[in-house]
Amino acid sequence: MNKKLVAALSGSAALVLALTGCSDDSGEKADAWAKQVCDKVRPEVQKIQKANASIDEASPQTHSRADVKKTDSAAFQQVSAAYGSLANSIDKAGDPPVDGGAKIRKDAVKELRSLSSQYKGLKTKIDSLSTADNDKAKAQFSKGLEDVASQIKTLGESGNKALENLQKGDLGEAVANQEDCRKKPGAKKS
């Protein structure tokens, strides 16, 4: 069951990694904007990847429900903070110097903040699950994990849309030219 949770959470990490692969060479202003954003991206991506790994390691098949709950709660807090930080980085960078830049920034920031808030909600949901040692609590815990995995899948899908406009045209090229927004060779897609 936690494998589903990790797969869904990985989809959300793909949203962040969406900043990593685009191109067009249109200007120093776009490059400067992209550098300002991309310098902040890599550490947040690493936090999300670390959260993914911790969830994967804390499988209900190999760990107690209490350990799974504690690990998942901490991971969701970490992901929430990472998305919040990404939103702040894009917001602080200001409007990208491209046509429709204000809308691009506003939409990306809005979606990232929404993701941050929704992951905080998932943390609250995980925190509310009982780890009591009876059949009813065990069933509710399993159902709760399934519900969370389903929500994460939806978050990953909606999140991918948030940064699509950062991958287009001049801005996309500027982002692609930044070391911290470039995919590492051999890195697998989330």
In a domain, 45, yes or no: yes
In a domain, 187, yes or no: no
pLDDT in tens, 26-42: 578 888 888 888 888 88
Closest to 19 in 3D by CA, of 175, 165, 171? 175
Helices (H), 1-134: 2-17, 28-57, 65-93, 101-128
In a domain, 190, yes or no: no
In a domain, 189, yes or no: no
pLDDT in tens, 167-188: 666 677 777 777 767 655 444 4
DSSP letter assigned to residue 141: H
129: domain CATH number is 1.20.200
Closest to 13 in 3D by CA, of 38, 42, 49? 49
CA separation for the pair 132, 10 (Å, rounded): 29
In a domain, 168, yes or no: yes
Question: Residue 63 has what pLDDT?
Answer: 92
Question: Residue 188 has what pLDDT?
Answer: 41
Question: Residue 11 has what pLDDT?
Answer: 52
How many domains in the chain? 1
In a domain, 86, yes or no: yes
Question: Residue 190 has what pLDDT?
Answer: 39
In a domain, 21, yes or no: yes
Question: Residue 163 has what pLDDT?
Answer: 62
In a domain, 186, yes or no: no
Closest to 144 in 3D by CA, of 132, 126, 131, 156? 126
Q: Which domain holds residue 90?
A: 2-181
Question: Residue 21 has what pLDDT?
Answer: 38
Give the residue with greater pLDDT, 140 vs 171: 140
Give the residue with greater pLDDT, 126 vs 166: 126
Q: Is the pTM of this model over 0.85?
A: no
Question: Residue 22 has what pLDDT?
Answer: 40
Question: Residue 76 has what pLDDT?
Answer: 95
